[in-house]
Structure 1
Amino acid sequence: MSHIHLCWELGGGLGHAGRLKMLAQALLARGHRVTLSLRDLMSTHALLADSDVPKLQAPVWLHDAVGLPPSGNLAEIVFHCGYLEPAALRGMVAGWRDLFAVLQPDLVVGDFAPTALLAARSMGLRSASVGNGFFSPPPGQPLPAWQQGVEARLISSEARMLATANAMLAEFGAQPYQHAAEVFLGDLPLLCTWPELDHCELRCDAEWFGPSFAAEGGLPPYWPEAAGEGRKVFAYLKASHRAHGAVLKALLEEGCRVLAYVPEVAAGAMPPVLDERIVYADAPVSLPFALAEADLCVCHAGEATLAQSLLAGVPLLMLPSHTEQFLTARRVAMLGAGYNAALLTPDSDWRAALQPLLSDDSYRNAARAFAARHQGFSQQQMNAVLAERLEHLLV
């Protein structure tokens, strides 16, 4: 039996914790000891409550980096988390090293956890990464860029990030990274997405395992009955998105029956729209059951919700809130299985955006074609394969 420590350091939402939960279950089933370190213990508590593994607070960056331009690649994202200067990163690396010294893991697995992987390398610990294409860049290549016209700046940023990481490794006599992408990958990168959803559109010769998410659990869906035969729409929206109320209002104006999970409303906030044709869930909803009945899914293009919607053959209206979600939404729009509403504002004509999704069969046909291509996909089988690959590092 080996001790495998799973880490989540950067990024938001429940997708990271859900992926690690599924992987932990597969590793436990194979007789390994598993521990977790999580960026957010509060929001993940309910999701992980039935996981009988120790859950620890991950070392996380708590300071604002001011004066930086909008991030154009992964290097500039981690500039906000200590990678501008070795002096800033030193405390974070020390925190991870102390954690590993106490836990004594045989293998460290990071989910968007570059500093955890760096600390593991500095200690001679074997490491791996799991994650989607956004924070799993192609090895041996320049970091993917999502801004145009600033190529020189991005090259400089990548070099600076790599120099900062290598300065930390030099302090502990560890082997330096040769490429910036290695900071995010560990000894064994496991790419948890499909080619159609891969943020890096030019990736070649990769092994795509498929998205990993925790599909079980959640409330049974309950649809409003007052709207009769109106289309059923499942909406997972956050109040932090300025247009969430405008979208719900437009759905009602289109005669839809809406089942909405808005975390802030579930926590006691006032609903943005009150109507007998909309039900607000008190807790996360069982997506497999809700999407089995839905005609449309409205979400922020988070990986878990989006993947499950496509596997159910349900088209999407996507309201991305940050770069990773925008790139995912763009990929789905390219497939013809949804509409990327990133450029719309609260004052936009949301009914005009919704009407084709509700009436044009091409969107549903594209979503169903996606589902057919991946028919038979099994989370349990995929995570068993991931666990087997991780075991190869322990030999």
Structure 2
Amino acid sequence: MNDLLVAIGVANEDALRTLLQQWDDILKAVGPDLVVADYAPASCLMSRGRIPLLIIGNGYTLPPSEMKRFPLIHRSYAPLWDEDETLSAVNRAMRSVGRLPLERLPEIFAADARFVETFPLFDPYDAQRLESANGPVFGSPPAGRQQDAHLVLVYLSRGYEPRLDIVKALRPLASRLYIHSPQLTPEQSADLGQGGARIHPHPLPLRELLPLARLVVHLGGSGLSAEALAAGVPQLVLATHIEQQLNATALESAGVGQMIKDFDPNSRVSPDMVEALLADEAMAQRAMNVGEQHRNMLEAMKPIAAFETAALKLLYT
């Protein structure tokens, strides 16, 4: 997490000071009764202690604030930046705008209330977290996968250019495909469309399609990973960065998914691999069972109601 904070400029004392001053101006001008922040360190640093603060985020973007230091959450590469140096830079910027310094860098995520939008399975800080995860927020509760589900949903967000091997691996399944992939070339779209694929220019209606899906192919974002998990659909994750890799690893550990490290030039997706996933009855049954468990968990968590309760408590106490 320290590396991520450095990457967005938190360790740049001058840049952070400017952000803090600008947030100070905004807060003075608006005079909010409550600040709800999602991975917004500067706004949190200026809000905390003066305005009720509720921080939201998934497990990856909202680490526990009680920790002494940020732990390693993967071993793909060693940390690039020194956490003590980041803390020193943050505290110099804080003092320069009249704010109290932090004792520990994880305090940057401290708040009056916190709302962790994920299932414990996807929380890389689950072992360190004192609070319970609140569960992902969906527009409506996902329905379970039907026994005769056969569709293959492919959801590749804007900015991702599908590799040639992925398109070739999906081509034999074109008649079962529902695909949203804005970066498909016109030739790829035409080829898949001729095979019967339904190509959607807009995001797929997941609530309608997940119960009919035997497999979801996607990049491993927290939202779709959680929704497909709760629906009981096996997943093939084409991970392009660490957060997606962590989500895919969690799915693999639960026996309901498989990961391809898309950032690895030696990785390949083949038609046989996809066919094997579709034919894996044991994985399909595990996904059904795990999905039911997580739908029950979601019903007990009631995340939207929990968020509203936390927000109203801060507003009226």
TM-score range, shorter chain: 0.7 to 0.9
Letter in 2 for 1:109: V
The alignment of Structure 1 onto Structure 2 pairs a total of residues equal to: 304
CA distance in 1, matches of 2:181, 2:266: 17
| Contact 1:215/1:287 (8 A) holds in 2 | no
| Cα distance, 1:170–1:379 mapped onto 2, change above 3 Å | farther
Does 2:59 align with 1:139?
no
- 1:1-395 matches, cutoff 5 A: 74-121=1-48, 124-141=50-67, 142-148=69-75, 157-214=82-139, 231-238=150-157, 240-254=159-173, 257-264=176-183, 270=186, 272-273=188-189, 274-275=191-192, 276=194, 277-342=196-261, 345=265, 348-376=268-296, 377=298, 381-394=302-315, 395=317
Where 1:385 maps in the other structure, the secondary structure is helix
Percent of pairs with identical residues: 25
CA distance in 1, matches of 2:136, 2:159: 26
Letter in 2 for 1:100: L
181-190 or 302-311, which deviates more:
181-190
| Cα distance, 1:102–1:244 mapped onto 2, change above 3 Å | farther
Where 1:105 maps in the other structure, the secondary structure is coil
Where 2:295 maps in the other structure, the secondary structure is coil
Task: Point out where structure 2 has 5 or more consecutive residues left out of the alignment.
Answer: 142-147
Task: Point out where structure 1 has 5 or more consecutive residues left out of the alignment.
Answer: 1-73, 217-228
> Could you tell me how far 1:200 is from its partner in structure 2?
2.2
Deviations, residues 199-222 of structure 1 (Å, cap 9, x unaligned): 225235431111124459xxxxxx
| Contact 1:318/1:340 (8 A) holds in 2 | yes
CA distance in 2, matches of 1:255, 1:263: 17
CA distance in 2, matches of 1:149, 1:278: 36
Larger relative contact order, structure 1 or 2 (CA cutoff 8 Å, min sep 6): 2
> Could you tell me how far 1:315 is from its partner in structure 2?
0.5
TM-score, normalised by the number of residues in structure 2:
0.85
Where 2:186 maps in the other structure, the secondary structure is coil
CA distance in 1, matches of 2:88, 2:64: 19
Q: Whose helix fraction is larger, Structure 1's or Structure 2's?
A: 2
- The list of structure 1 runs, each at least 4 consecutive aligned residues, that deviate by more than 3 angstroms after superposition, is 146-151, 213-216, 238-245, 343-347, 378-381
Output the aligned Cα RMSD: 2.8
CA distance in 2, matches of 1:271, 1:129: 44
TM-score, normalised by the number of residues in structure 1:
0.69
CA distance in 2, matches of 1:211, 1:189: 14
Letter in 2 for 1:296: L
